[in-house]
Amino acid sequence: MSLQNQRFFTPTDSTPSDSLLGTLQHHPELQHQFQSSPGILQTIALPTQDSSSSLDRGQQSPPAAKPLLSQTVEQCLSSDSPVSRDADCGFIPLRQIAKVGSRHRDDADYRFVGQLGAGGTGVVFQAHQRAVDREVAVKMLRSEHAVKPHLREQFLAEARVIGGLDHPNVIALHEVYSDKNGSLFYSMKRIDGTSWDKQIDDLSLSQNIEILLRVADAIRYAHSRGLIHRDIKPENVMLGKFGEVLVADWGLAVKYQTNQTVAATNSIGGTPAYMAPELASASAGAISFQTDVYLLGAILYRVLTGKPPHNGPSLLQCIQAAANNVIEPTDTECELMTVAMRAMATSSAERFASVDQFIDAIKDERQHEQSQRLIRRAIGQAEHAINSTDSADAYRDFGIADALLCEAIALWPSSLKAREVRKRLQLQFAAIATERGDYDLAAAIYEAVGEAKSDEAQMVEFHRLQREASQRNASRYLVLFTQSPDPGVLIDLKTLRVVEANIAFAKMFGYECDKIVDMALNDLGLWVNPEQQQILFDQAIRRGSVDDFAAQLNHADGHSLEVLINSRVIEIAREPMLLSTIRNSVITQMACPPFRRQPNKTSCNGPLVFGDDGFRES
């Protein structure tokens, strides 16, 4: 759904006043500033009305020209009177700080080396901790905010949250402290790397999914401790050079009570581009563990599409898009997108019930995706088999395709698609086997896929029975043919190769039967005049038979023989053959003086076909 022509959520009198949009409704100047700001990827953190009574006073102080969003927000929420830090001085230890640019001090507990980053309320420095001689990251509450109770409280709450989480994917907190001026700090493990958003577009899908799963593990652990993060996004995930994945910035984390309500919080907000609807338009009581599930789904959407789910020409319109759950349109279609869209359902009841379910769904779909890839490979292999003219290659390709589909089913046993594709390809294989006369294989395939009673299988069975009958008749004939006293030869009319020659033929022309079988007729060099061979074949094919065809044939030793040839076209196993018997014309005339040669006398009878009762006229 695009943002154009979209009816956005507009705060009304019934909008919860402690919601983000409700707060903007009650502060028109702040709403105007949000309308003019494009910073949809920045974290918004506003105090609730219960935590600060200075919102109205803040509206009276106009912001500076073109301020940063974080500065704008703070100017609108600024307090006119300083706030004592006595409330936290009793349990926050003092430390000596040597800041960047200050003179060297031997008694400094922390010596700041340089700035690593900055946010709306805090600045992160690289520092050296003298006591243990290590490099650390130190987050400092901005000095102008250190006098604001709600921001001090929020800063300390963030430190307590991080300090209470002991997980390999949560950044480790070392110490919370203040300096002599009351500025607040906490030191953390320093990561040699960058935030995820700086690398996300350069990483593969598999790498990004692995990072997301580790982030989800950290959030799952936080949920087990009753904490909701509320601001999960690639910018808040640190990637170290040695494979570390650490979730940072827990400043908006809230406690989830045992009675399934969120504890009173002194801030509202999140990041509009990734924000769940309840973070934008509902009160704190609507926030639940499913809010973090939504944010994880939004990151998955970002991984798959290259953009966050919500957008708008201004910050305010992006918040309105989040409130209405208007998700940017995409052409991306895959199994993982289904997971992302379910996690980002408008109603929390329609999302995954827990982060565990979200993680399991990703792992399942990754297996399914691998199964889908195998299915696509199998289809491609089968298409190659269908287009192959070589039976051996086609059978091999179908075998590979079937093996790929078996592996796809093993990865995803409940996949109906894999089973349907396998059956379809097996039926195609059976059809090709039928076309190539491999009836036994075709019948076995039809039996294996449960189609033994289909019309195609019945036709295969008919061809099998017909072939068996033909083979039986051919076998009986070949016994008679090979033992016949008349020289005979059987030629395949398609290939012009010798299929069979009997003993009498071998003796007459000086050959061994086994050596001439499957030999090309032209290679045999039998005909003295090859043109006579072509005339005989043409007449036999055209008329079905030729009788007493006079010709000269060569003996193996080179001398020629005058012969008379009787030929008939027959079918064996549906293949056209030329059966010829040969007589020595000289011997025939001597044995039968009354015999009168009628050279090249032909018969108009049709070709012979093997039937159940032997040869018959077609």
User: In this structure, are 260 and 371 located in the same domain?
Assistant: no
10 forms bridges with which residues in the sheet? none
Q: Could you tell me if 254 and 185 lie in one domain?
A: no
- The stretch 267-281 carries a mean pLDDT of 86
Q: Which domain holds residue 163?
A: 86-189
Q: Which residues contact 504 (CB under 8 A, 6 or more apart)?
A: 484, 485, 486, 487, 488
Tens digit of each residue's pLDDT (9 = 90 or more) over 283-336: 666 889 999 999 999 999 999 999 999 998 888 889 889 999 999 999 888 878
3-state secondary structure of 107: coil
254-255 and 237-240 strand pairing: unpaired
Residue 158 confidence (pLDDT) above 80: yes
User: Are β-strands 245-247 and 602-603 bridged in parallel, bridged antiparallel, or unpaired?
Assistant: unpaired
Which amino acid appears at position 91 of this protein? F
For 383, 468, 499, the CA distances from 443, given in Å and listed in that order, are: 22, 14, 28
Quick: pLDDT tens for 488-501.
999 999 999 998 88
* Lookup: tokens for 563: 């012969």
Q: What CATH number is given to the structural domain containing 165? A: 3.30.200.20
* Amino acid, res. 394: A
- Return d(Cα 339, Cα 365) in angstroms, integer: 8
Estimate to the nearest angstrom the gap between the alpha carbon of 130 and the chain centroid. Answer: 51
Whether 373 and 324 map to the same domain: the answer is no
What is the distance between the alpha carbons of residues 185 and 176, in angstroms, rounded to a whole number? Answer: 6
The pLDDT score that the predictor gives to residue 38 is: 66
Do 596 and 536 share a structural domain? yes
Out of 298, 327, 362, a domain closes at 362
Cβ–Cβ < 8 Å for 275, 316: no
Give the whole-number percent of the chain exceeding pLDDT 90. 38
Clarify whether residues 352 and 204 are in a common domain. Answer: yes
Q: How far apart are CA 441 and CA 281, in angstroms?
A: 66
**pLDDT at residue 148 tops 90:** no
> What does R_g of the chain's alpha carbons equal in angstroms?
45
Catalogue the E-assigned strands of 394-544.
Answer: 488-492, 497-501
Q: Quick check: is 459 in a domain?
A: no
Q: ∠130-134-138 over CA atoms, to 5°?
A: 85
d(CA 591, CA 588): 5
303 and 179 in a common domain: no
180 C-beta neighbours (distance < 10 Å), count:
9
The overall pTM is greater than 0.75:
no
Look at residues 253, 158, 168 and name the one whose alpha carbon lies nearest to residue 217.
168
- For the chain, how many structural domains are there in total? 4
Read off the CATH number of the domain in which 212 is found.
Answer: 1.10.510.10
326 in the same domain as 198:
yes
A 10 A CB-CB count for 162 gives 22
Distance (Å, whole) CA 39 – CA 609: 87
Predicted confidence band at 531 (pLDDT cuts at 50, 70, 90)?
A: very high
Residues 243 and 285 in one domain: yes
Are 9 and 21 in contact by the 8 Å Cβ rule? The answer is yes
Final residue before a domain boundary, out of 141, 166, 189: 189
For 469-488, the pLDDT digits (tens) are: 766 666 666 666 767 788 99
Q: Do the annotations mark residue 601 as ligand-binding?
A: no
Under DSSP, the state recorded for 436 is T
Is residue 198 included in any domain, yes or no? yes
Q: Is 586 exposed, middle or buried (0-12, 13-18, 19+ CB in 10 A)?
A: exposed
Task: Name which residue leads in pLDDT, 570 or 75.
Answer: 570
The torsion angles phi and psi of 24, rounded to 5 degrees, stand at -65, -35
Q: Are 194 and 267 in contact (CB under 8 A)?
A: no
Report, as an integer, the average pLDDT of 147-156. 84
Q: Are residues 400 and 321 part of one domain?
A: no
Query: Residue 199 has what pLDDT?
Result: 96
Measure the CA angle with vertex 511, ends 505 and 512; round to 5°.
95
